Structure 1
Amino acid sequence: MKDPKAHPTKAFRAAILHSLANPTDVGLENSYQYFEDGMLLVADGHIVNVGHAEDILPMLDASIEVVELDGKLIMPGFIDTHIHYPQTGMIAAYGDQLIDWLNNYTFPEERRFEDDDYARDVAVHFLDELARNGTTTALVFGTVHKSSVDVFFQEAEKRNLRMIAGKVLMDRNAPDDLTDTPESGYADSKALIEKWHNKGRLHYAITPRFAPTSSSEQLRLAGKLRQEYPDVYLHTHLSENPKEIEWVAELFPDSKNYLDVYDSHGLLSNRSVFAHGIHLCEQECARLAETDSAIAFCPTSNLFLGSGLFPLSKMEQSGIKVGMGTDVGAGTSFSLLQTMSEAYKVMQLQGEKLHPLKSLYQATLGGAKALSLDNDIGNLEVGKEADFVVIDLHATQLMKFRMEHAESLEDKLFVLMTLGDDRAVFDTYSYGQSVYPVNNR
């Protein structure tokens, strides 16, 4: 039976750049592949060839459409390993650190998601913004309302996106009208897993907001869900703010540290992603590496909320998988290009340099590895799903002027990451189909 989403072979001609491995592991020169005049051949949502245009063109059947993208750069679609779709409408909320920010902005906004029409409207805007910024995969928080996640998956399915999302579990230390119970959270999550997990390109994430808003019983039932559905994700927050860490120690006095709260309830695995992880001790780092769990590096929100500087080198030296997250709405942009720029500054403040090829890895293949999806997405290797973004390196007058003075690929890439934003995204393709048409801008 023919795949209803299948589509004809199409060739895209442009400069092509993608990561092959972590530069920290293999060195910069072995970490990427670049074709100045390249060709990407796509069929039925997958990459069937990539290389120099002069090598592939003679092999093409005359019936294959060739999309000429003169002056453009093709890269893998960006992967956002931590973002909140319900916070789209409160991005750029002024003047608080984490706990006050939740109480003053986040919770009032999330109340509105009891209304399915409102949730759908935000989901549409959210997915539009992801596509506008070249993001093709994201690990997404919903709200405590089961229907908020149902609506999100419905909209993501329409676009054939690879999205991971979950209903927030929150049974204490939050407004009464935004809490569930251990039993209702378990039942709602189970129903959503049965309905959406592994449906098309969609996956489910068990989603405790963070340890302070879940009782031990709720975390126990979250662990039960993970045992019952071992290939679902676990998505939550960890060690973002010093006051938060102190609060966790008060709420869970028998736990050795913040991570141990989750660990003691069976929530660590190769599909567990913890946002932030700024203030981790050596014991926590070792346990994350041992369980193949991942951390989402969220530089924009960490700076915006004054949470601290993420120690990327320490995480990698500990053997921890690290992806990159925008963390909208504490994060101030949907753009992973702008997020890469902030990551560079975070590392500068720690006396370290973040090479642009390393940033590209973190926002693409590194994110795929953090999500245990690197067999399917993350770069442009043959056989992988055709999620890619077409970049205009001359999108603004300043970018155009600066690119004229760029002397190397690394220089051009760094200019893109420093000056680029959604204006640099010419087109976004998910599973080989455009989800951000130029003529719709």
Structure 2
Amino acid sequence: KNGLFKLYGAYDQTQFKLMQDDIDIPEGISFQLKNKNFYSNMNYEGRLGERWRLFAGGGYAYSRTDIAPHQDQIVSEERSYHAKLKLSKRFNSRFKLHFGAEQFITDFTETYSSQAASTPFSLDAGFQNRLSAAYAEADLIFSRKLAVKGGLRGEYSQIFKEFTLAPRASIAYKVGSNSQFSLAYGNFYQLPDAEVLKFQPDELSSRKTEHYILNYLYSANNRILRAELYRKSYRDLITYDTDQIAGSTDFQNNGNGYAQGFDIFYRDNETIKNFEYWLSYSYLDSERLYRNFPRSATPNYANAHNVSVVGKYWVENWQSQIGASLAYASGRNYTDPNRPGFLQRQTKDYLNLSLNWAYLISPQQILYVSVNNAIGYKNMNVYQYASTPNSEGIFDRRTLRPAADQFFFVGFFWTISEKGTDNQLDNLN
């Protein structure tokens, strides 16, 4: 009567084997993957009296991954537990308080074995960690135009024997009946990845991120405009000086970096009858000095420009929705060993124009046809260079490209609901 209890569980299993091309091994590399994942959570949310609300929940996750690349085998298992308790009280229409606690428990093990060397060997690694956290947040509404949220989160990591405090705050101000500005600031701490923690390095600490975000939002008459300007700085990133991470690697918290840029999004479902479109553009300027980087550089996953254009038109006489989408991404950095420098070159830009048609057979049944990369643009992922130079002193390379430049899809969607009119038309782009 006063609350709601939810229980959720999911399991998936994957297995595949393939022969992977490699520039150093003409016959290719045999690669096999087996993976099992289980996840479950349960939570309760309800009222405690007139002004209090309670949220309590817990989750468990198990993952086992067995990877067999070439003559090696890597078996990893991870068990994770999460418990959370949150209490909220609304004192009046202008002030609301939230506070709670969380507990994260992680148990990770990994076994690496190799038959490639003249003497086969195996290596065991892993870690256990308990992360305890407590937090408090307050919502303050000063007027119809001004609202402020502030909070403080404290965490204790058992593996590092480290306590951190992270303040966070945001302020929102309405500049019109349909628009507002907001400004947010926050500190966030994150543990290193499992590939580092599994070797239980001494004298490391959590990585720290500091966020500044300025946001503008306009929403009216089936139109939305959102613009965001941000700056994020990173401290205490993990650094090391070996080509590959191993048990003998010397890890340090000497890294740093930043990410700054802006995002613009506009969606319009009003200007042209039966036509909906949205446009988005993002710009990113980012550098990192971390891992085994010899200098601060833009990582290969951080490209500067991304553009997306999507349009959908409903043709009443045909009972059909015709759509098109355009995606563009500027090139990503990579290192060419035939030239001096690090991450000194860029791949070609990515471009994809896709078309689709959805025919409404009945209110709940849709026949859907789409073609990806309709213009057949030759996209690429990255280059793979040989590990040693050829007789002329040049590192040979090959281009890693998608398995196919284009693909076609024909599908049938049937939505079953109580109303008898629900369908997936809005989700088909």
Instruction: Tell me which protein shows more strand as a share of its residues.
Output: 2
Instruction: Tell me which protein shows more helix as a share of its residues.
Output: 1
Report TM bin, short chain: under 0.3
Higher relative contact order (CA 8 A, sep 6+): 1
TM-score scaled by structure 1? Answer: 0.27
The structure having more radius of gyration, on CA atoms, is 2
TM-score scaled by structure 2? Answer: 0.28
